[in-house]
Amino acid sequence: MGNIKTIGILTSGGDAPGMNAAIRAVTRTAIYRGFRVMGIMRGYYGLVFNEIEEFTSKSVSNIIQQGGTILKTARCKEFTTAEGRKTAYENMQRAGIDALVVIGGDGSLTGARIFAEEYDIPIVGLPGTIDNDLGGTDRTIGYDTALNTIIDAVDKIRDTATSHERLFFVEVMGNRAGYLALNGAIASGAEAAIIPEMETEIDQLADLVNRGFRKSKNSAIVLVAENPTTGGALGLAQRIKEEFPEYDARVTILGHLQRGGSPTAADRILASRMGAQAITALDEGQRNVMIGIKNGELVYVPFSKATTHTRNIDLEGIELVKMLSI
């Protein structure tokens, strides 16, 4: 850490509740330890187009409870090119930035890995994504808040489903992972969860109908992970219309509602711990690692492992949903 005097921080990819708590923790921990902090606006876009400003302790006052990210986030096609990354590195040098903390998901950390390898930059990542789909960590920043948002929405939808005796498909986010759908189904008492991890094993929709879920109930809620293979909730509702016309199906797509809102206590604490640990990691000479959490302990996860999706979802949860929905 002796050569590091200034640390840059950016948020990239989809926003997630708790990102601001992480920004606050990184900034104040770095300042507490005697380093300058530079806030990079709009993710990698800000590096390429030089949107960089110094952050003080006051810069991150009163943000721990806010959703979104005060640093903003944006896509940046230029950073995917060698020329764009060269410009980003030159802007870093001009700003005096010696190391980076990158908060984001799969694509953001993949970009960080490539950038670090090309220019030998110390970079530490924080897992900021509601999808909970990064390897080497039990939870990601924003996942708990998104899960609670889903539960709140499903509780309200159930009132209508019960009143009208309907089958509701509620589509949630998740990218390529079914964590939000599966655990949302368990927590909300939904009748089923249709997730990408099961798409090659069984016809999940036919299994739901054939289980005779209407024998003991006059309504049902099914949580569906967004999935181009099944067509998501709209695709499944169309199948119901064509194959099981006796059922009155409706669709609710929660969409970006899941990304917003004030972070839960769990996400604020996780983001704060991880943010502070990012500075410790740089202090220890770590580079090209993500801060993860395993069994309650913070760990260092190589970027290559964090972005390979080696963590398997607990499919016993599917059986739990079935048992508890009879």
Q: Are 117 and 47 within one domain? A: yes
Q: Are 225 and 276 within one domain? A: no
Q: Are 15 and 108 within one domain? A: yes
Tally of domains in the chain? 2
Identify the CA nearest to 19 among candidates 111, 152, 143, 173. Answer: 143
Q: Are 27 and 126 within one domain? A: yes
Per-residue tens of pLDDT for the chain, all 326 residues: 458 999 999 999 999 999 999 999 999 999 999 999 999 999 999 999 999 999 999 999 999 999 999 999 998 999 999 999 999 999 999 999 999 999 999 999 999 999 999 999 999 999 999 999 999 999 999 999 999 999 999 999 998 887 877 789 999 999 888 999 999 999 999 988 989 888 655 577 777 777 765 555 667 899 999 988 778 899 888 988 888 888 888 999 999 999 999 999 999 999 999 999 999 999 999 999 999 999 999 999 999 999 987 667 887 888 898 888 87
Identify the CA nearest to 183 among candidates 142, 150, 205. Answer: 150
Q: Are 119 and 31 within one domain? A: yes
pTM of the model: 0.93
Identify the CA nearest to 174 among candidates 158, 190, 198. Answer: 198
Helix (H), strand (E) at residue 69: none
pLDDT of residue 203: 72
Active site residues: 131
Q: Are 43 and 130 within one domain? A: yes
Q: Are 19 and 136 within one domain? A: yes
> Does residue 313 contact residue 195 with C-beta atoms inside 8 Å?
yes
Residue 190 CA to residue 134 CA, distance in Å, equals 25
pLDDT of residue 98: 97
Residue 168 CA to residue 154 CA, distance in Å, equals 10
